[in-house]
Amino acid sequence: MRSSSLPPTLRGFEHHNLFWEPRWDCYAVKVKPGDFYVSNSGIVITTVLGSCISACIHDPVAGYGGLNHFMLPDSGTQGDLDRSMRYGLFAMEQLINELMKHGCQRERMQVKLTGGGDMMGGLTTRIGQQNIDFILKYIQDEGLSLEASDLGGDQARRVAYFPTEGRMLVNKLDHRDDQRLIEEERSFRVDVDQHLDDTDVELF
């Protein structure tokens, strides 16, 4: 039965629109590429991934969880690779620092990963694997607890994450919508690259 009132939204996430998701019998929010969402409400956070990655992180003691959606920009040289990694670090620290603002602790964080698909031979193959290589190294270097992962393959994914439970559900999609998703991710990757040219990303 649909709830008559919207669940509370944390400060800083008011621009996200909650909608009723009858499949899960709760409110949902969709995270777009380059964005993230954190909540301690009984909602579901959704996104669709091609070669992008989503890190889903939950602190079972604090009761908060969150999901991000990121892709490293293209990197043709070692110097560009350094810039690319810098963006990945920013995307992860955004999510982790927001969780820590609400009392979550790194040593309790349970991480689940998905995405990094090979949507099409050539460029996206390299981008998907680059994303996977980055996130696995990041988790290892930071000493975070990787609880589950569903990475790679040649299919897009629809993700549903329940932040208060730390439950991640992944549905592999057929290839009918591949081209649309490839174009969306290509546009996103270009935007990220231009943003890095214009702005110095600061880690905090």
Answer yes or no: is 105 within a domain.
Answer: yes
Residue 77 placed within a domain: yes
- For 135, residues 6+ apart whose C-beta sits below 8 A from its C-beta are 53, 55, 88, 92, 113, 116
CATH number of the domain where residue 167 is located: 3.30.1330.200
Side by side, the strands of the sheet bearing 145-151 are 36-39, 64-68, 53-59, 110-115, 145-151
Say what the pLDDT of residue 75 is.
Answer: 55
Q: Would you say residue 11 lies in a domain?
A: no
Residue 200 burial class via C-beta count within 10 angstroms: exposed 0-12, middle 13-18, buried 19 and up: exposed
The tens digit of pLDDT for each residue in 149-202 reads 999 998 899 999 999 999 999 999 887 767 777 777 777 766 766 655 544 444
Strand partners, 64: 59
Residue 69 to residue 47: CA distance in whole angstroms: 8
Domain count, the chain: 1
Q: Judge whether 201 lies within some domain.
A: no
For 59-92, how does the pLDDT look when each residue is reduced to its tens digit (9 = 90+)? 999 999 999 999 887 655 445 656 666 788 999 9
pTM of structure: 0.86
Does residue 124 register a pLDDT over 80? no
Does 169 reside within a domain?
yes
Distance (Å, rounded) from C-alpha 8 to C-alpha 42?
10
Distance CA 176, CA 55 (A): 25
Range among 88-92, 118-122, 143-147 with highest mean pLDDT value:
143-147
Domain range for residue 56?
19-195
